[in-house]
Homo-oligomer: A and B are copies of this chain.
Amino acid sequence: MPTSTPTSTPTSTARRTPADKHDERRRALADSALRTLGELGYARASLREIANNSEFSHGVVHYYFDDKLDLIVHCVQQYKATCVRRYDDVVEHASTPEGLVEAFAAKLVDTLVDEAPMHRLWYDLRAQSMFEESLREAVLAIDQTLEDMIWRVVRRYADLLGREPAVPSGTAYGMLDGLFQRALLAHLCGSGEVLTSLAAEVRRTMPLLFGAPVAGD
C-alpha cells in the first residue's frame, strides 16, 4: 500500500513509488556495472567506462551510490541473488544419485560457458578482498551462500545415496570450487576439452566425497 499516492494514473495498485524508481535505477546501473566489471575486472573498470556501457553519464554514479566501493558491493550482492538458486532445479528433480551428478555436472558446464565473465569477476573480487578489508564482508557473505548452495547438492546426493558425506560442507565447497576455478581458467584460455573434462571430474569427485570410488574406474 503506497503512502501519499499520486492522484493521477492510479491504474494499478501500489505502482511506482519514487523509492521504487530509485531502486530500479540502482539496479539498472548495477547491471551495467556488472557487464563492464565482468569484461575488464575490478581494477580496470572505471566509473566512466561503466557509465559508458549504460544509458547514463559518468556523474550519475555518485547520485545513486556513495562511491565506487558502494557500487561494487551492491553489484556483488545483486549478482549473488541471481546465482544462488542456480542448482535448485537440479536438486529438486533428481531421483537417482547418478542422475543428480549428471545434471549437476551439466549445469556446471553450462555456467562455465554462459557466465564466464561473471565468474572471473567473482574470483577477482575474492582475491581483492584478501588485500582490501572493505570488500571482505560482502565477499564472505557470498562465499557462505555459495557454500550452502553446493551443500544442498551434496546433501541431496547423500539422501539419494543413503550415505553420509565424508567431508563437511566447507571442504566440499572448497574442493568443487577449486575444480571449477581451474576449469574456468582453461576455458578462458580457449581450451575446448575442458568442458567434457570438468564434467568427468565432477562425476568422479562426487562419489569421492563419500569415500566411494566410482565404479569401473
Contacts and interface: CB of A to CB of B under 8 A. Distances in A.
Interface of A: 40-44, 120, 123-124, 126-132, 136, 139-140, 143, 166-167, 170-171, 173-179, 181-185, 188-189, 197, 201, 204-205, 207-214, 217
B120 A205 contact: no
A211 to B, nearest CB: 3
Given A166-B217, A205-B171, A123 B130 contact: yes
Nearest to A120: B130
Stoichiometry, copies per complex: 2
A212 B44 CA distance: 46
Contact of A130 (B126, B184, B197): B184
Which residue, of A40, A173, A209, A211, has the highest number of chain B Cβ atoms within 10 A?
Answer: A211
A183 B175 CA distance: 12
Contacts of A213: 166, 210-211
Contact of A177 (B178, B184, B209): B178
A185 B130 contact: yes
